[in-house]
Amino acid sequence: MSSARLETFAKGLVALVLVVIASAGCQMTAPINTWKSGNIARPGMVRVAIAPVGVATRAMPTNYFVSMDELQKAAKTLESSIVATTPRPNPLLLTVTPDQLATASQIQLVSYDNQPNEIATVGAARNTNSDLMLQANVVFAHLTPIEDKRRSFLSKLLKRKRNEMHLTVHWTVVDVASGQRVLEQTIDTTETDVKRLANTVGNQLKMEDSSIVSLAAYRGWQLVSPQLKPEEVLLDLPWFWLGSSQVRKGNGYARQGRWDLAEKEWQGAADQHPTNAAAWHNLAVSAVAREDFELARSRLKHADSIARGRTTDKTERWLESQQRHYYTIMGLPEPHEGWRFSD
């Protein structure tokens, strides 16, 4: 093959690749908060009573220089943190604090040895018309770092890691009406967990204190309360369509979690260039971010009419999955038109 023909073939191949890219487009992900149910799935609003926190009977106060007084101190700190980390804003959750439970009870909820009385606490929860009771007992607490001077010379010489600070909590969820325990789970929270989840959970807690105790309390709430949790969603990333630069700018905002600014950019691109399917696709995703599923479906349908089957089928399945989950959590009836895909 001559060099001229080879050059012509190469140019044609490049042109073909560009056409394919322009038609198919690229994708990127962005974080979006969607509603997820707790371990105890209850549709609609739920009232949760927070029981006084005690020390588990199987707790071991002798390890790592931890005394019973320190375990009880950890229990008090955890109780305060459970109240402080109540998921807000959450239209599906009403809470009753330990102080409110004590007011609603005719007998003392905590015995002379600072241990909660479960029977009395359940009775108080019934008086407050609670649906569930969240009960925590500290199994193990090592919340004070051991100073280097308390470590042996050999440990320092061998560069052994010090024992991580951590908190072990046994959680119990009680159905107040029946008085039956419906869930029991022991969860260990460590320094490593705090570092690993600092960005994700720290933002959701909206607290300056992203400590081990705060994270342990947050994990307890996950057992009973629907919460907004981040997940990654696919966005179209166009390059050669008119308005692509504005769509990509919106994608950048979405990547930062600034969905209001992202939607503004995508809407601008769609208004100026109505045939930009990527802008309409991403606008559908932004409608899901604010739980307007009908608008999302309308926008997605428009994107599919411009460039059929690009990413719209996958997104439509995701959209319906999000709507199903949202309707279930909120206790809403199925849409009158039903569901398109099987569950």
Which domains, from first to last, does the chain contain? 46-227 (3.40.50), 236-330 (1.25.40.10)
The SS3 of residue 89 is: coil
Least Cα distance to 184 among 171, 194, 198, 165 occurs for: 171
Q: What angle do CA 234, 239, 244 make, to 5 degrees?
A: 85
| pLDDT digits 0-9 by tens, 128-174 | 999 999 999 999 888 876 554 444 554 444 444 556 788 999 999 99
Position 56 scores a pLDDT of 85
DSSP 8-state code for residue 116: B
| Lookup: tokens for 280 | 């309409």
Q: How many CB atoms lie within 10 A of CB 65?
A: 12
Give the confidence band of 36 by pLDDT, cuts at 50, 70, 90. confident
Q: Tokens for 341, please give them.
A: 């895909």
Residue 300's pLDDT band, with cuts at 50, 70 and 90, is very high
The pLDDT assigned to 136 comes to: 95
Give whichever of 29-38, 146-155, 217-226, 245-254 has the largest mean pLDDT: 245-254
pLDDT (tens digit per residue) in 56-108: 876 555 445 567 888 889 999 999 999 998 887 677 889 999 999 989 887 77
Work out the end-to-end distance of the chain between its first and last CA atoms, rounded to an integer number of angstroms: 56
Asked if the bond preceding 89 is cis, omega within 30° of 0, the reply is yes
d(CA 102, CA 128): 11
Contact present, 237 and 191 (Cβ < 8 Å): no
Amino acid identity at 178? S
pLDDT of residue 199: 56
* DSSP assignments along 185-226, one per residue: EEEEEEHHHHHHHHHHHHHHHT-S---HHHHHHHHHHTTTS-
pLDDT at position 311 is: 67
Q: Judge residue 182's burial from the number of C-beta atoms within 10 Å of its C-beta, 0-12 exposed, 13-18 middle, 19 or more buried.
A: middle
Put simply, whether the predicted model's pTM sits higher than 0.75 gets the answer: no
Q: What percent of the chain has pLDDT over 70?
A: 77
Q: What integer pLDDT is reported at residue 115 of this predicted model?
A: 78
pLDDT computed for residue 269 by the predictor: 93
Section 119-135 average pLDDT: 93
